[in-house]
Structure 1
Amino acid sequence: MASVTSPSSVNTQGSPTQAPAEKPSPPPIDILPSQLAQAYSYVHPAVLLGLYAYRFEALVADPVRELLADLPWLAALQISFVMLCLPPAGSTSTEAGAGAEEEKKKAPKSPSGPLRHGKPGYRRKHSSGKSSWACFFAKLMPAFLSFALTSLLATPLIAVLLVLFGAPLTTHNAETILCAAHMALLSATGLVYVHGVEASVWKEVWGIARPVDAVWGSALGTGLGAWFGAIPIPLDWDRPWQAFPITILTGAYIGYAVGSLVSRTPLLYGKRIEFAPEQAEEEEKKTN
């Protein structure tokens, strides 16, 4: 039975015979606290949906050409999103947000009188410029690394999953690969950017056991949206938009947007989906 639980509800009591405690799971990922990051984190899903809706007719007319043409734009938007709104692997949103605040506090205030000792105001401005560029490149490299890993690893894996779940094997190969590439950019770019290649995190991802946050929620929403998007394909409606993979990709985009927003609400944020046996079975195991 699936149940949603909070990390704080886990039993912490120990005993001398227990095995050593495992490494604690990384906490849910917060959007960076800057006003720009907070605002754009809500605008980004709307931008993706708006662009998809704008190009939908072209997608129906020629799926392969349109999916290929839209791929660079999707990659650019996803890279911009992770760099602007998410903390890179090895840091936390608190640390990233605190960094700018600490620099503001440490920066010496300009004197009320005339500047002395060789224009210190100019030196502060020059140093701030260096710090800004260093911060930019510190985010740029993980962003491109996440894009590379998503393209090389996530895209083929999702393509195989699409075939296993019913996509044509001997035909529509270009559509399958391009659909997988779009889904990979939507779901995996943020996960790789904030978690890197940490094995414990990816075990939770594949086990659907990550604490709910904007990154995990958007990835899960992409998968669920694609699943529900496949429903109209076998229906005998004879509509051009029912062709593979249009409805699957439409569901993936909608699921990404809904998941990234709903996962940040207090109802779901920080909770886990845990698959546990029934209470009666637990009691029976304890008595045996």
Structure 2
Amino acid sequence: MASHSHVSSINQAGSPSQAFVEKSSAPPINILPSKLAQAYSYAHPILLLTLCAARFEALVADPVQELLADLPWLALLQLFYVLLCLPPAASPSADSSPASDAKAARSRSGKPGYRRKNSGKNVWAAVWAKLMPACLSLGLTFLATPIIAALLVMFGAPLTTHNYETVLCAAHMALLSASQLAYVHGVDGSVWKEVWGIARPADTVWGSALGTGLGAWFGAIPIPLDWDRPWQAFPITILVGAYIGYALGTLLSRTPLLYGKRIQFSSESEEEDEKKTN
């Protein structure tokens, strides 16, 4: 009887379902709890959409020149956003909820001498602790540009023509999608496996990346239609779709309906039936 219970406990611990439950995953990322960060986190995607709409006519007139001119401004806006609103990789704030962050901030501010300890060199150290990963994330983002450019070609972008348009469109999409992921997750291999496997829990960072990709995909629909409109030229609608998808993904993924949820391609019952047949 003892041996039977021992064997059953081993089987339960080693079963695939139990191993899946115990598998650790990086939690969803929360916006920093300060009032300024919370307010700007909603204003940022609206600001990007406003700038995209304001520069739309110039984009249609000369896509290469406009994409190149807007790229540094987009990089600065994304840099400011991650510095103000997101916790850097490996920071305790990245693994806590908004309520616990606010509670911790109140408890720290109530301690005697807290303001004195958080001045001078400590302030500059805190700024550098966020600025360095932000700059590194921009570098990693531009390394992702060739990958996104190759994906654009695989999904139908011209291979022998419009090369400047393809690269610049990929650079904009990389800044929209990869800069925040690189800032909050660094080079964590397990997280990036979830990203490429579309298995991350929904949050504002993952939502913006997924929204950018889906928006660009839907944005390609008007290109082959015979409307003979100048704005149908590659990559105008793809880029506009990426910006709209970024804004929607950023905002919708923070709602209680989506936050923390994962995309499921098959139901649990189907997975169990498949395991039984195998």
* TM-score, reference length from structure 2: 0.87
SS at the partner of 2:178?
helix
**Root mean square deviation of aligned Cα:** 2.4
Q: How does 1:5-24 map to 2 (within 5 A)?
A: 15-18=12-15, 21=19, 23-24=23-24
Does residue 129 of the first structure (1) align with residue 134 of the second (2)?
A: no
Distance 1:14 1:138 in 2: 46
Distance 2:176 2:276 in 1: 44
Question: What is the Cα deviation at residue 76 of structure 1?
Answer: 0.2
Partner of 1:5: none
Partner of 2:180: 190
Does residue 216 of the first structure (1) align with residue 206 of the second (2)?
A: yes
Partner of 2:249: 259
Distance 1:87 1:177 in 2: 29
Using CA pairs under 8 Å that are at least 6 residues apart, name the structure with larger relative contact order, 1 or 2: 1
Question: What is the Cα deviation at residue 104 of structure 1?
Answer: 1.9
* TM-score, reference length from structure 1: 0.84
Partner of 1:150: 141
**Which of the numbers 106, 115, 118 marks the counterpart of 2:111?**
106
Deviates more, 1:205-214 or 1:20-29: 20-29
Paired amino acid for 1:275: F
Partner of 1:66: 66
Does residue 34 of the first structure (1) align with residue 34 of the second (2)?
A: yes
* Greater share of helix: 2
Question: What is the Cα deviation at residue 278 of structure 1?
Answer: 7.8
Partner of 1:117: none
Question: What is the Cα deviation at residue 135 of structure 1?
Answer: 1.3
Deviates more, 1:249-258 or 1:95-104: 95-104
Aligned length: 261
Deviation readout 1:67-89 (Å, 9 max, x if unpaired): 00000000000010011000000
Unaligned runs of 5+ in 1: 1-12, 110-120
Question: What is the Cα deviation at residue 96 of structure 1?
Answer: 6.7
Distance 2:261 2:176 in 1: 22
Question: What is the Cα deviation at residue 15 of structure 1?
Answer: 1.3
SS at the partner of 1:264?
coil
Over 3 Å off, 4+ runs: 16-23, 93-103, 277-285
Unaligned runs of 5+ in 2: 1-9
Closer, same or farther in 2 for the Cα pair 1:281/1:177, shift >3 Å?
A: closer
